[in-house]
Structure 1
Amino acid sequence: MSLSLKQIRYFIATAEAGQVSQAAVNLSISQSAVTTAIRDLEATVGAPLFERTPHGMEMTVTGRQFLLHAYEIMAKVAEAQQLSQVTAEVRGRLTVAATYTVIGYFLPYHMTRLNRQFPGLDIQLFELNRESIEEGLLTNRYDIAVLLTSNVLNPGLDAEKLLSSQRRLWLPARHRLLSSGAIGLREVSEEPYIMLTVDEASHTSLKYWSQTPYQPRTILRTSSVEAVRSMVGNGQGVAILSDMVHRPWSLEGRRVETVTLSDPVPSMDVGLAWRKNLEPSPAVTAFRSYFRRAFHIPE
C-alpha cells in the first residue's frame, strides 16, 4: 500500500488536535475519512502511530518519530509548490529574535529552507529572553520574532501560533510508573523532580501545579535541557517537558520514556510575534508566508 499526502495531512491534523473528531472539524471532512486514512497509514508504516484512549488519540513513540518526518514531507511539498512564486526577488536584511528553546529545537530546520528559498534575504538571528524580545519588537530593534506564543503578554504585539507541542511526563526506562494506570500530578509529586527554568518553563510549570493541591518535589533547577534529559535517563528524577525537546536517549545512551498525564497540562505553543499595526516589509511578508505554508495556516 502506497503512502499519500492526504494520509500525512490527516495524520498531522490528528496528532495536533489529539482527537479524530476535532481533526475532522479542522479539516472540514468526515471522521470516517480521517479514521480510514490513519488506519491505512499505519498499515503502510507497519506500526501503530496512535494509541486509542478514552481521552483521545495519543501518539506512540513511532507516531512521534513519524510526525517529524511528516512535517518535513509537507514542508518539502510546500517548498516545491512555491518555486514559481517570488523568492529571489525578496532582498534586504531581516532581524529575527528568538528564544533559547526555539533556536535549539525548532528554527535550524526552517532556517536552512528559508535561506534556500530566499537567497537574497539576509536573516540576522538574535537569541534573547521573552522580555527583551517584546521590548525589541516594540522599539523596532527586531522585525519579527519566533518564540513561545503562549508566553507573550504585551498588548502591543500580535502573535500567531504555528504549532502546539504537548507536554508529557519524562521517565527513565523501567520506572515503576510506566506500569501504572492513569498518572496524574499527585503521582508525579511523590517523585524527585527536575525543574527546567529556561524560557519561563518553571513559571509555566508552577501555574498548572497551582491548580492542584500538589507541588513538585524539586531537587534541581536548571536551564539545560540536556541536564534534565541525562538526569531523567539515569533515574535521578522525573520532569514534565514538551514533545518538541524530547529525544528518546540521553547523552549517556540511557532511554527517556514519556507518558501522557491524566491531569490537564498546557501545551507549549510556538509561533511568530510582531509589533501591532506594523506595516510589513517584503522581507517580513516572505518570512511569515513561509511559516504559514509550512504549517498550513491560511494566508
Structure 2
Amino acid sequence: MAHFTLKQLKYFVCVVESQSIAEASRQLHISQPSISVAIKGLEDVFNQQLLVRHHAQGVSISANGRRVYERAKELLRLSNELEQDSREEDELVAGTISIGCFESAAPLYMPRLVAGFKRLCPGVSIQLHDGEQHELMHGLHRGRFDLAFLYDLELESTIVKEALNAPHKPYALLPADHHLARQPFVTLAQLAREPMILLDAVPSKSYFVDIFTQAGLSPTIAYSSPSIEMVRCMVGQGLGFSVLVTRPRTSVTYDGQQLVQLDILDDMPDSALIMAYLRNNQPTRATRLFMDYCRTVELAAVTPLAASA
C-alpha cells in the first residue's frame, strides 16, 4: 500500500494557497525541486493530478486536488492539535499560530500582544500577516490564519467574533495649528466644511464616509491613502483632516509634524476591534491560550502627548 506524509500534505497546502511552487518555496524555506517531488509523490499515491502547472504563471488546483486540499487541511489541523494536546500533561505549550491583523491596527497592537504572550509561552511560534478585511476573511476561509484581528464591519455569520478592549469610537485628526484644533471637541458639520484625507482601506473607506452621509453631510475628499501613516502625514502638512478609529500613541508624524486628536460630539456607529475564527474550525490549544492572554490586555490608548504651542 502506498503511503503519504504530513510533510507532503503541508507542502501541497502551501502551494495551493500561494498558487506558486516558487512562493511556497520561499515561505517554507524548502527548495522548489523538493516541493515538486513531494507533490508528484502525492499525485502518484492518489493516482490523480492535483495541480495544473502553467508555464511561468504558477499553478492552479484541479477538481480532484480541491477535494484532497480540504482533507489535507483538516489532517494538518488534527495533527497540530494532537501534538499540542500530548504536551498538556507536562504543562508545555508548543505549536504555531498564524494570525492575520487589519493593516492599520497591526503596528499598534500586534507587537505588544505577541511580545507579552511569548513571555508566558515561549514555545509557541507566531506567524503574523497584515492586510485588508477581505484578505483576512479569505485567509480564514482558506485555512491560512488560525485567528484574525479585524474591525466588526460587514462580517459574515461564518465566524465567531469577540470584541477586544480597544478604542472603538471614531475621532477627528487635525494639524496642531488648525483653527478647530483649539476646541475641546468638534462636530461632523464642522469637519464637513474642511477637506478630508480618507483612509482608503476596505471596509474603513465606506465606514468613514457613511458617518457623514448618515448625518446628511457630504465630506469633500481631497486625498486618500490605504496607509494610516500616510494619512497622518498629509494631515500634519495641513492638507485636511481625517477621521480614524486606531489611535497611535504619539502626536508626531513620521516627518515631524504635530497632530491633535479630538473627540467628535455626534452620535456615530462604533467600530470595534475583534478577534475572530471560523465557526467550523475550533482553535487549537495554543490559539486558545493566545486569545485568553488578549482578553487580559488593556489596548485602549493613552492620551497622546500634547502638541507644542
TM bin, normalised by shorter chain, reads 0.5 to 0.7
Give 3-state SS (helix, strand or coil) of 1:252's partner: coil
1: CA distance, partners of 2:90 / 2:242 = 43
Give 3-state SS (helix, strand or coil) of 1:205's partner: helix
How far did residue 254 of structure 1 move? 2.0
Give 3-state SS (helix, strand or coil) of 2:164's partner: strand
| Counterpart in the other structure of 1:135 | 138
Give 3-state SS (helix, strand or coil) of 1:147's partner: strand
TM-score w.r.t. length of structure 1: 0.64
| Counterpart in the other structure of 2:282 | 279
Say which one has the larger Rg: 2
Cα deviations by residue, 1:31-86 (Å, 9 ceiling, x for unpaired): xxxxxxxxxxxxxxxxxxxxxxxxxxxxxxxxxxxxxxxxxxxxxxxxxxxxxx99
1: CA distance, partners of 2:258 / 2:127 = 37
Aligned pairs for 1:52-71 (under 5 A) are none
For 1:279, give the aligned amino acid. Q
The answer to whether the 8 A contact 2:229-2:253 is kept is yes
For 1:281, give the aligned amino acid. T
| Counterpart in the other structure of 1:155 | 157
For 2:129, give the aligned amino acid. F
For 1:163, give the aligned amino acid. N
Give 3-state SS (helix, strand or coil) of 1:125's partner: strand
**Measured at CA, do residues 199 and 275 of structure 1 come closer, stay the same or move farther in structure 2, by a change above 3 Å?**
same
The answer to whether the 8 A contact 2:277-2:283 is kept is no
Identity of aligned residues (%): 24
How far did residue 159 of structure 1 move? 0.4
Give 3-state SS (helix, strand or coil) of 2:105's partner: helix
1: CA distance, partners of 2:163 / 2:121 = 23
How far did residue 111 of structure 1 move? 1.1
2: CA distance, partners of 1:230 / 1:290 = 33
4+ residue segments displaced more than 6 Å:
85-88
Structure 1, gaps ≥5 residues long: 1-84
Residue 258 of structure 2 corresponds to residue 259 of structure 1? no
For 2:136, give the aligned amino acid. I
Give 3-state SS (helix, strand or coil) of 1:101's partner: coil
| Counterpart in the other structure of 1:192 | 195
| Counterpart in the other structure of 2:272 | 269
The answer to whether the 8 A contact 1:168-1:240 is kept is yes
1: CA distance, partners of 2:165 / 2:247 = 10
| Counterpart in the other structure of 2:241 | 238
**Measured at CA, do residues 101 and 88 of structure 1 come closer, stay the same or move farther in structure 2, by a change above 3 Å?**
farther
How far did residue 163 of structure 1 move? 2.4
2: CA distance, partners of 1:125 / 1:195 = 26
**Measured at CA, do residues 233 and 279 of structure 1 come closer, stay the same or move farther in structure 2, by a change above 3 Å?**
closer
| Counterpart in the other structure of 2:177 | 174
| Counterpart in the other structure of 1:107 | 110
Cα deviations by residue, 1:100-143 (Å, 9 ceiling, x for unpaired): 12322210111111222111111122223222322332343321
The answer to whether the 8 A contact 1:88-1:120 is kept is no
Give 3-state SS (helix, strand or coil) of 1:263's partner: coil
The answer to whether the 8 A contact 1:162-1:272 is kept is yes
**Measured at CA, do residues 123 and 218 of structure 1 come closer, stay the same or move farther in structure 2, by a change above 3 Å?**
same
The answer to whether the 8 A contact 1:249-1:256 is kept is yes
1: CA distance, partners of 2:283 / 2:269 = 31
Residues paired across the two proteins, number: 211
The answer to whether the 8 A contact 2:134-2:202 is kept is no
Give 3-state SS (helix, strand or coil) of 2:127's partner: strand
